[in-house]
Amino acid sequence: MEPKEVFDELKTILVTRLKFDPRRAVDLTLETTLPKDLEGSIGLDSLDFIELSIALEERFGIVMDDSADLAPHFMSFDTLSRYVASRTAGA
């Protein structure tokens, strides 16, 4: 799956699982940051990231390694889309 396809799925997950406003979702770009307290961020907190991780596992059939530092992958839609695409490559 290509990062652009993953990005589209991520926006859907935000709206359906995290109850993100669909009107705001249309304005999101790959450069949009995810964690709260970052300028231009959509403001996800630690509970949002847990829910997002679960949704990614369910949707893409990947396992998020709790022992690994996943924070760099959850910085923006771009980094997360690329991470998920790399994990689903060849699947």
DSSP 14-40: HHHHS---HHHHTT--TT-B-BTTSTT
Under 8 Å between Cβ of 59 and 14: no
Token pair, residue 26, equals: 């249309």
Under 8 Å between Cβ of 75 and 49: no
Question: Regarding the domain with residue range 3-88, which homologous superfamily does it belong to in the CATH classification?
Answer: ACP-like (1.10.1200.10)
Provide the pLDDT for residue 66.
Answer: 77
Q: What is the mean pLDDT of residues 48-76?
A: 92
At 16-43, the pLDDT tens digits run 999 999 999 999 999 999 999 988 899 9
Cα–Cα distance for residue pair 40/64, rounded to 1 Å:
26
By CB neighbour count within 10 A (0-12 exposed, 13-18 middle, 19+ buried), where does 10 fall? buried
Segments making up each domain of the chain, as ranges:
3-88
